[in-house]
């Protein structure tokens, strides 16, 4: 999250500032809802995860093998 007017090169991440926490949480919830609606493995998501852990879970690749170069 950046202030493009004051920081057009996006060097200062405002997403970690507490004053923007509500906005960040809202954006995370929107992303999570989108994943829940569209991801083919959404029904396998564990219930006890935080929002951030759920987003990480959705973004982890599942279509590759455990060995490099393996599919």
- CA dist list (Å): 49 to 18, 20, 34, 66: 22, 22, 17, 24
- Total domains in the chain come to 1
Report if residue 53 sits inside a domain: yes
- The answer for residues whose C-beta is within 8 angstroms of residue 2's C-beta and 6 or more apart is 10, 12, 13, 14
Q: Which domain holds residue 41?
A: 14-59
Local structure of residue 58 (DSSP, 8 states): H
Report if residue 32 sits inside a domain: yes
How confident is the model over 34-68, as pLDDT tens digits?
A: 999 999 999 999 999 999 999 999 999 877 766 66
Report if residue 9 sits inside a domain: no
pLDDT at 69: 61
Report if residue 67 sits inside a domain: no
Spatial contact of 52 and 28, defined as CB atoms under 8 Å apart? yes
pTM: 0.74
Report if residue 49 sits inside a domain: yes
Report if residue 21 sits inside a domain: yes
Report if residue 7 sits inside a domain: no
Spatial contact of 23 and 45, defined as CB atoms under 8 Å apart? no
């Amino acid at each position: 999250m950046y202030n493009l007017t004051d920081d057009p090169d996006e060097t200062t991440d405002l997403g970690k500032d507490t004053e923007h926490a509500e906005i960040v949480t809202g954006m995370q919830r929107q992303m999570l809802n989108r994943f829940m609606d569209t991801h083919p493995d959404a029904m396998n998501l564990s219930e006890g995860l935080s929002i951030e852990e759920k987003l990480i879970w959705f973004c982890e690749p599942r279509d590759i093998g455990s060995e490099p170069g393996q599919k």
